[in-house]
Structure 1
Amino acid sequence: MDNRKLPTREEADNQYKWAIEDLYADDAQWEKDFELLEAEVEKLGRFKGHVGDSADSLLETLRADDSISKIAEKVYVYANQRLHENTGNSKYQDYSGKAQNIMVRLSAATSYVTPEILDIPDAVLAEYLESENGIKEYTQFLANIVRQKSHILSHEMEKLLADMGEVAEGPKNIFSMFNNADLKFGEITDEEGKAVELTHGRYVGFLESRNRDVRREAFKAMYKAYGAFRNTLGASFSANVKQQVFFSKTRKYPSSLAAALDGSNVPVEVYDNLIETVHGGLDVMHRYVALRKKLLGVEELHMYDLYVPMVEDVTMKIPFEEAKKIVREGLEPLGQDYQELLECGFNGGWIDVYENQGKRSGAYSWGAYGTHPYVLLNYQDNLNNVFTLAHEMGHALHSYYSDEAQPYIYAGYRIFVAEVASTCNESLLIHHLIEKTEDRKQKAYLINYFLEQFRGTLFRQTMFAEFEKTAHAMVEEGKVLTAESLCEVYYGLNKKYFGEAITADEEIALEWARIPHFYTPFYVYQYATGFSAAIALSQRILKEGGIAVEDYRKFLKGGSSDYPIELLKMAGVDMTEKTPVESALKVFEKYLDKLEELLK
């Protein structure tokens, strides 16, 4: 493969593409289901006015909703995964648009269901749940609806908000299309002096280069591209914040943060505790940054110096096949069952491995109930991508276990716990690699990598979370979000989190403009809470073995059958306390001590 030019989707090697046909054999099958959906959506109004007539009527409504939602999920996932293969493909842009439209129509067509459930007197609903008709399966689902009763509006208002769903997705869709299909970064000069295209997938690889000129050029080129559209991106981000604030106010929440967290029944204090606890550990973070400056031997440490390994003469070029072997070995503590499923994922068409022209950037795990999970990668031959593989397979196997153990209504797990299984995999893998190596420099390199996971996840994602909280609060206070005001907030946070040892380049003020997750408000904090929970779980698994694995497996199978905080308690972690974050910070400090000792 010519490394200087990305292949088209058609030119990419089929053995490294996901088996999209496991969702639908061909587009004709998708279109058949789409037509079925269009017909079924029109029939969903038949329960209107009768949802709470009896236990049987309630059950029939819920089961009908489940049935059509399964098909809609499959239609939506296929259309978007096809689009993600090449975001410039007009056919799948159309499919994706149609799928989104049908999801909005489905939401609107069933918008009367929740208000009618809430119209059922509590005593009557309790009586229904004692019925032997099968309604008991929906006990947790119904309890969660009743819990949010004060935020559910009238039938007419619920339908209006549902109809607005597609409009509300506008800022996110515009940014996604701009970021993945339209924005180009041009070419830079690589370590060999060759002109190569700068892409999302290659960016971090360039920042890890030993050649500082390559790092600087990639950094400058990336932000020059975003900077050319700073006002457009500021308007897009502001519109997304405003729609979130609008919906939260309409639903009578005190803030958009409270609204975002309430869906998973997560107290706002968990968010605030995270930021407060991490603030208490910033001195250790500043110490780490100062060590990086010292070890790199630079007069000024810049933002583009944060990713290059601090340990010299350790090159870890890891092809994808070797990455699979490393991940298998690292996850052995999770038991034979987990290993077998991992192997199935590696060899069963779950993974789309390499970057191609137009392919969606980044990595994710996704799928539809009734088929195996899928993992999108843009694999590069480095250690970071090995961990990305372990991370996304953690998501995938979490989904597999949940789908197998839970009915459709509870199969999908909440975002709050979504990053726990993935990060637990990473924690187990790094422990395995650090423990097995005898080489002093390689051990130092791996510890450096682990510390970078803390920096990038616990510290950086908390900084992201603080930025989001500030930006949303500004809108709620009636302030105007502009590219300038956003840059000012973001730049200040970088100085606060990274400390005095680093020169905060002016370009970093624009980093908010390229973070896709900001278009799913208050998502990123869960990387930090999930990381903290995962550190605790992995330590327990390594220490206690089978008993801890058994508890962890219960969590993986839990889906959304209980609230996320309760599911984590089942596995041995209480995120309503500061302890997990404080413990993670202590682990960070312990490994920083080890690194300093190794590099004396």
Structure 2
Amino acid sequence: MNKNKTLPKRSEIPAEFKWRLEDIYPSDEAWEEDVKKVKEMIEQIKSKQGTLAQSGKHLLDALVLQDELTKTMDQVYVYARMRRDEDNTNSTYQALTDRATSLSTQVYSALSYIQPEILAIDSEELKKLQASEPGLEHYRKLLEEITRFKPHTLSAPEEAILAQVGELASAPGKIFGMLNNADIKFPMITNENGEEVELTKGRYIQFLESKDRRVRREAFEALYATYGKHRNTIAATLASVVKRDVFYARTRKYESALKAALFADNVDLSVYDNLIATVREHLPLMHRYVALRKKMLGLDELHMYDLYVPIVKEVEMEIPYEQAVATIKEALRPLGEDYGRVLETGFTSGWIDVYENEGKTSGAYSWGAYTTHPYVLMNYQDNVNNMFTLAHEMGHALHSYYSNKNQPYTYADYTIFVAEVASTLNEALLMHHLLKTTTDKAQRMYLINYYMEQFRGTLFRQTMFAEFEKLIHAKVEQDEPLTADRLSEWYRELNVAYHGKEMVVDSQIDLEWARIPHFYNNFYVYKYATGFSAATSLAKQILEEGQPAVERYLNFLKSGGSDYPLNLLKKAGVDMTSPEPIREALSVFRDLLEQMEELAGIQTPSTP
């Protein structure tokens, strides 16, 4: 929309391109009323401490009040934060956000006794309480989920000690964050225009996408030379965070740190192992892609710094917002009339904040409160990437919409394990539509390249990260040290295995582990790969089976958090305890490879 060099002010954005936060609260005064209500409920919930075991009625009253309190608090916080996101320079909403954050801390502090108090109730006694109060049937799954943790919950004094060391346990991540985001300074490099430019983490990928190979190599070498100066410090920090994970797992009587991390989602170890084994089985496809990339770039040697530069010359694909909306609606037709109706409502009823303005929060997200429709923040630019981002965020939004409409507040929230499925599925359907309708050869090649890079970055790369995490935790559990040299050695072996003989695995990449912040949030990255695989498999089923697959998928969206994620996905049509969904996703990658080879007139070694 805005073609000028300067960003418009918030007031200059037309109303039809702004979200309608009045649907949450008609005014700031109405927000203040709910703040008062939250404060009153905090005192009410505090008064119930120590009473939960007295009767089924007491337990029910506390759980009902907890739901009402957190539901209202969510609405208070979402409104304040999203108002601030419209323009972060607005001091009114800076203040409201600060107040909401403080109030949220008070709420969760007041609620902190509920779970330990329930866990302190004898199992048989808890069953009697449930039988005595019919209203507790609604909370049966919640109570089961709380008591599932009982074998891994310590005595009250021991839990208090663990709570007190929580700040110490978070120290490695904080130290890495300060080093990585504040203290590390990268050198100047010479850009494509011969200008001296400071290398930053934000600019790094831009430099790796440069058509000038010298720029790519210089940025790559400069980045890792900088991390190399801190390699021992970062190794000690990473070792500390892994030891923390192992300590907590052992203290809470889990078999391993990995099993402890999977327990929260009730995910079996086979899911993690199947992902790695199945991707390993299909590494020849990744090697074939590397060989294709090498040939299409016309290089004698493909280096690690050549992985991000597009293999297809940039094509003009300007996509205004209105065109993106129309394309997405058409692409998602396979999801049926009801999905299309909700999607249309989202596009026309104040769900989306479309364009960038002065002070607006960058990036994109989908968010909202249970009590209203979901919202999407965009900073739309007229290109392919932003069209896919819009489809992605609307996938999240409609997942939340269906979940909130069909589940009570207690079970509406879905886990991170399934969160990326709905968004990635929308992207898969959009890509299928574009490839089906795009006749221009250059544009088709550009789109295929875009999609293959998603597979490389999400399925292959995140699985490699997951394998590295599993390895380093196992080493600590076997009392082996994590030194910078050993971490680099193991990381290099993975890169060689994943990229194959056509790739020159530069020595600098051995240090990539030193710059990955995800490793400080243990066993998280595998969910990117499983979510991507599940979404790709479901999209394939929807396109091939039609209505039966659509109904299964819509029921998945409507289920929210009413069951464990693996059960929800199985009902939708993907069994993540089996390698099949990952194999199905990789079969799509194989098809893309073959299409690109045909369009480019290039043959690479065939893969089994």
Are residue 365 (structure 1) and residue 366 (structure 2) matched?
yes
Contact 2:10 2:87 in 1 (8 A): no
Contact 2:395 2:423 in 1 (8 A): yes
User: Partners in 1 of 2:26 and 2:175 — Cα distance?
Assistant: 30
| Equivalent residue number for residue 281 of structure 1 | 282
User: Partners in 2 of 1:2 and 1:253 — Cα distance?
Assistant: 55
Q: Letter of the aligned partner of 1:436 in structure 2?
A: T
Are residue 69 (structure 1) and residue 58 (structure 2) matched?
no
Q: Letter of the aligned partner of 2:398 in structure 1?
A: L
| Equivalent residue number for residue 425 of structure 1 | 426
Contact 2:355 2:380 in 1 (8 A): yes
| Equivalent residue number for residue 416 of structure 1 | 417
User: CA 1:546 to 1:581, structure 2 compared with 1: closer, same or farther past 3 Å?
Assistant: same
User: Partners in 1 of 2:9 and 2:156 — Cα distance?
Assistant: 46
1:54 Cα deviation from its structure 2 partner: 2.2
Contact 1:115 1:153 in 2 (8 A): no
| Equivalent residue number for residue 326 of structure 1 | 327
User: CA 1:448 to 1:554, structure 2 compared with 1: closer, same or farther past 3 Å?
Assistant: same
Task: Show the 5 A alignment for 1:187-226.
Answer: 204=205, 207-213=208-214, 215-216=216-217, 219=220
User: CA 1:337 to 1:532, structure 2 compared with 1: closer, same or farther past 3 Å?
Assistant: same
| Equivalent residue number for residue 400 of structure 2 | 399
Structure 1 residue matching 2:154: 3-state secondary structure = coil
Q: Letter of the aligned partner of 2:523 in structure 1?
A: F
| Equivalent residue number for residue 303 of structure 1 | 304
Q: Letter of the aligned partner of 1:570 in structure 2?
A: K
TM normalised by structure 1 equals: 0.84
Which is worse superposed, 24-33 or 459-468?
A: 24-33
Contact 1:104 1:163 in 2 (8 A): no
| Equivalent residue number for residue 547 of structure 2 | 546
| Equivalent residue number for residue 117 of structure 1 | 118
Structure 2 residue matching 1:47: 3-state secondary structure = coil
1:462 Cα deviation from its structure 2 partner: 0.6
Contact 1:100 1:166 in 2 (8 A): no
User: CA 1:28 to 1:384, structure 2 compared with 1: closer, same or farther past 3 Å?
Assistant: same
User: Partners in 2 of 1:487 and 1:81 — Cα distance?
Assistant: 42
User: CA 1:318 to 1:31, structure 2 compared with 1: closer, same or farther past 3 Å?
Assistant: same
1:563 Cα deviation from its structure 2 partner: 1.0
User: Partners in 2 of 1:327 and 1:478 — Cα distance?
Assistant: 52
User: Partners in 2 of 1:192 and 1:24 — Cα distance?
Assistant: 50
1:417 Cα deviation from its structure 2 partner: 1.2
User: Partners in 2 of 1:35 and 1:178 — Cα distance?
Assistant: 41
User: CA 1:18 to 1:552, structure 2 compared with 1: closer, same or farther past 3 Å?
Assistant: same
Alpha-carbon displacement from aligned partner over 1:521-577 (angstroms, at most 9, x marks no partner): 222211111122112211111112222111111100111111111111111111111
Alpha-carbon displacement from aligned partner over 1:93-151 (angstroms, at most 9, x marks no partner): 88777766665554454343234333444444445445564221112112222333211
| Equivalent residue number for residue 458 of structure 1 | 459
User: Partners in 1 of 2:511 and 2:467 — Cα distance?
Assistant: 16
| Equivalent residue number for residue 598 of structure 2 | 597
User: Partners in 2 of 1:566 and 1:491 — Cα distance?
Assistant: 37
User: Partners in 2 of 1:89 and 1:493 — Cα distance?
Assistant: 48
Alpha-carbon displacement from aligned partner over 1:4-31 (angstroms, at most 9, x marks no partner): 9885987995766655665567778767
Q: Letter of the aligned partner of 2:556 in structure 1?
A: F
User: CA 1:437 to 1:565, structure 2 compared with 1: closer, same or farther past 3 Å?
Assistant: same
User: CA 1:450 to 1:239, structure 2 compared with 1: closer, same or farther past 3 Å?
Assistant: same
Alpha-carbon displacement from aligned partner over 1:149-185 (angstroms, at most 9, x marks no partner): 2112334444555566566556656766887789887
User: CA 1:154 to 1:94, structure 2 compared with 1: closer, same or farther past 3 Å?
Assistant: farther
Alpha-carbon displacement from aligned partner over 1:324-363 (angstroms, at most 9, x marks no partner): 3332222121123222333343454544556789877654
User: Partners in 1 of 2:514 and 2:351 — Cα distance?
Assistant: 31
Structure 2 residue matching 1:557: 3-state secondary structure = helix
User: CA 1:30 to 1:381, structure 2 compared with 1: closer, same or farther past 3 Å?
Assistant: same
User: Partners in 1 of 2:320 and 2:203 — Cα distance?
Assistant: 15
User: Partners in 2 of 1:187 and 1:360 — Cα distance?
Assistant: 28
| Equivalent residue number for residue 502 of structure 2 | 501
Contact 1:4 1:195 in 2 (8 A): no
User: Partners in 2 of 1:174 and 1:356 — Cα distance?
Assistant: 34
| Equivalent residue number for residue 52 of structure 1 | 53
User: CA 1:460 to 1:547, structure 2 compared with 1: closer, same or farther past 3 Å?
Assistant: same
User: CA 1:95 to 1:350, structure 2 compared with 1: closer, same or farther past 3 Å?
Assistant: same
| Equivalent residue number for residue 439 of structure 1 | 440
Structure 1 residue matching 2:255: 3-state secondary structure = coil
Are residue 251 (structure 1) and residue 252 (structure 2) matched?
yes
Contact 1:86 1:359 in 2 (8 A): yes
Q: Letter of the aligned partner of 2:390 in structure 1?
A: L
User: Partners in 2 of 1:549 and 1:593 — Cα distance?
Assistant: 28
User: Partners in 2 of 1:359 and 1:518 — Cα distance?
Assistant: 30
1:427 Cα deviation from its structure 2 partner: 1.3
User: Partners in 1 of 2:137 and 2:394 — Cα distance?
Assistant: 33
User: Partners in 2 of 1:549 and 1:49 — Cα distance?
Assistant: 48
1:447 Cα deviation from its structure 2 partner: 2.5
Contact 1:111 1:159 in 2 (8 A): no
Task: Show the 5 A alignment for 1:309-348.
Answer: 309-312=310-313, 314-348=315-349
Which is worse superposed, 493-502 or 118-127?
A: 118-127
User: CA 1:487 to 1:13, structure 2 compared with 1: closer, same or farther past 3 Å?
Assistant: farther
Q: For structure 1, which runs of at least 5 residues remain unmatched after alignment?
A: none
Q: Letter of the aligned partner of 2:581 in structure 1?
A: P
| Equivalent residue number for residue 150 of structure 1 | 151
Contact 1:364 1:392 in 2 (8 A): yes
| Equivalent residue number for residue 570 of structure 1 | 571
User: Partners in 1 of 2:239 and 2:119 — Cα distance?
Assistant: 34
Higher-Rg structure is 2
User: Partners in 1 of 2:444 and 2:111 — Cα distance?
Assistant: 56
| Equivalent residue number for residue 390 of structure 2 | 389
1:410 Cα deviation from its structure 2 partner: 0.6
Structure 2 residue matching 1:371: 3-state secondary structure = coil
Alpha-carbon displacement from aligned partner over 1:205-262 (angstroms, at most 9, x marks no partner): 5544444455456656666776676667656655554544443333222222212211
Q: Letter of the aligned partner of 1:314 in structure 2?
A: V
User: Partners in 1 of 2:124 and 2:448 — Cα distance?
Assistant: 58
Contact 2:224 2:511 in 1 (8 A): yes
Alignment RMSD: 4.1
Which is worse superposed, 406-415 or 165-174?
A: 165-174
Structure 2 residue matching 1:592: 3-state secondary structure = helix
Q: Letter of the aligned partner of 2:460 in structure 1?
A: F
Alpha-carbon displacement from aligned partner over 1:418-475 (angstroms, at most 9, x marks no partner): 1211111111111111111233343333223222221111111111211222333344
Which is worse superposed, 487-496 or 463-472?
A: 487-496
User: Partners in 1 of 2:510 and 2:9 — Cα distance?
Assistant: 34
| Equivalent residue number for residue 522 of structure 2 | 521
User: CA 1:4 to 1:308, structure 2 compared with 1: closer, same or farther past 3 Å?
Assistant: farther
Contact 1:104 1:166 in 2 (8 A): no
1:84 Cα deviation from its structure 2 partner: 6.5
Percent identical across equivalent pairs? Answer: 55
Which is worse superposed, 36-45 or 178-187?
A: 178-187
User: CA 1:463 to 1:114, structure 2 compared with 1: closer, same or farther past 3 Å?
Assistant: same
User: CA 1:593 to 1:120, structure 2 compared with 1: closer, same or farther past 3 Å?
Assistant: same
User: CA 1:355 to 1:487, structure 2 compared with 1: closer, same or farther past 3 Å?
Assistant: farther
Q: For structure 2, which runs of at least 5 residues remain unmatched after alignment?
A: 602-608
1:401 Cα deviation from its structure 2 partner: 1.2
User: Partners in 2 of 1:354 and 1:199 — Cα distance?
Assistant: 26
Q: Letter of the aligned partner of 1:534 in structure 2?
A: A
User: Partners in 2 of 1:61 and 1:533 — Cα distance?
Assistant: 37
User: Partners in 1 of 2:257 and 2:292 — Cα distance?
Assistant: 39
Structure 2 residue matching 1:365: 3-state secondary structure = strand
Q: Letter of the aligned partner of 2:254 in structure 1?
A: Y
